[in-house]
């Protein structure tokens, strides 16, 4: 091993829009961290991100190399495929893992307390988890995004998907992590999803209605898309930053 876990190191898998925002938060000392370990399958992206930072950063060529640095927390900000591929290996090393691509967890039977899913582009998950204990009858999520988030150019609102959250997360692995996070929170209740490509909206809009044993909930979130990635909301990265703060304080 390179060093011990006495130092607070953070690994980031994926150096795109979300990984970059998290690294910048560390650089700005919003997160109490001693060193960043960056890994991206495109090593040039990791090297480019490192060049922007004055904070101590090491770029590695594989997850195995990252693990040798013994990070306290690793953030997956790459893809569902990366999350599925790495979750068991990371948790086996007793390292906390923040999974941004929450859709990957829908098909896995992950029981580890080391796996954490941030609230992402929405909130109210504590209330939903509490209601799920008593019993949830129905959850309906409606997501509206600008067509460019779906690589479309429709001029009128267009429903691009209706169905279960699990299928929405599979079909739109980068755009619909909200659906996956809801499904994981209210399980075993099912989440129905409607996805709308709407040229009239400039913010990513997520509304969900919940009917549960003792009442109803209606929550709405309208988030600016990340300026470098319209598929995701900036709030998703900030929710990971907040969770990273908490895990590093343990």
**Which residues are identified as catalytic?**
206
CA dihedral 237, 220, 126, 30 (to 10 degrees): 30
Rounded distance between C-alpha atoms, residue 48 and residue 157, angstroms = 38
Which tokens in the block code for residue 207? 């509304």
- Under DSSP, is residue 227 helix (H, G, I), strand (E, B) or coil? coil
Report the Cα–Cα distance between both ends of the chain, in Å, rounded. 22
Which residues neighbour 29 within 8 Å (Cβ) at sequence distance 6 or greater? none
- Under DSSP, is residue 247 helix (H, G, I), strand (E, B) or coil? helix
Rounded distance between C-alpha atoms, residue 132 and residue 144, angstroms = 25
């Amino acid at each position: 091993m390179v060093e011990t876990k006495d130092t607070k190191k953070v690994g980031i898998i994926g150096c795109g829009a979300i990984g970059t925002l998290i690294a910048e938060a560390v650089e700005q000392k919003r997160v109490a961290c001693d060193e960043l370990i960056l890994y991206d399958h495109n090593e040039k992206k990791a090297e480019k991100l490192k060049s922007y930072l004055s904070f101590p950063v090491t770029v590695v060529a594989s997850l195995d190399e990252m693990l040798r640095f013994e990070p306290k927390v690793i953030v997956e900000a790459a893809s569902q495929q990366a999350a599925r591929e790495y979750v068991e290996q990371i948790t086996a090393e007793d390292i906390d893992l923040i999974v941004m691509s929450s859709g990957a967890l829908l098909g896995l039977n992950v029981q580890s307390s080391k796996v954490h899913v941030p609230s992402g582009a929405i909130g109210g998950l504590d209330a939903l988890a509490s209601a799920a204990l008593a019993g949830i009858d129905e959850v309906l999520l409606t997501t509206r995004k600008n067509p460019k988030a779906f690589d479309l150019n429709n001029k009128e609102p267009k429903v691009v998907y209706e169905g279960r959250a699990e299928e929405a997360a599979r079909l739109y692995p980068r755009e619909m992590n909200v659906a996956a996070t809801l499904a994981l929170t209210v399980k075993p209740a099912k989440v129905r999803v409607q996805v709308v490509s709407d040229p009239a909206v400039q913010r990513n809009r997520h509304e969900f209605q919940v009917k549960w044993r003792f009442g109803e909930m209606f929550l709405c979130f309208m988030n600016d898309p990340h300026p470098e990635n319209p598929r995701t909301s900036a709030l998703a990265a900030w929710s990971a930053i907040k969770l990273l703060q908490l895990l590093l304080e343990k």
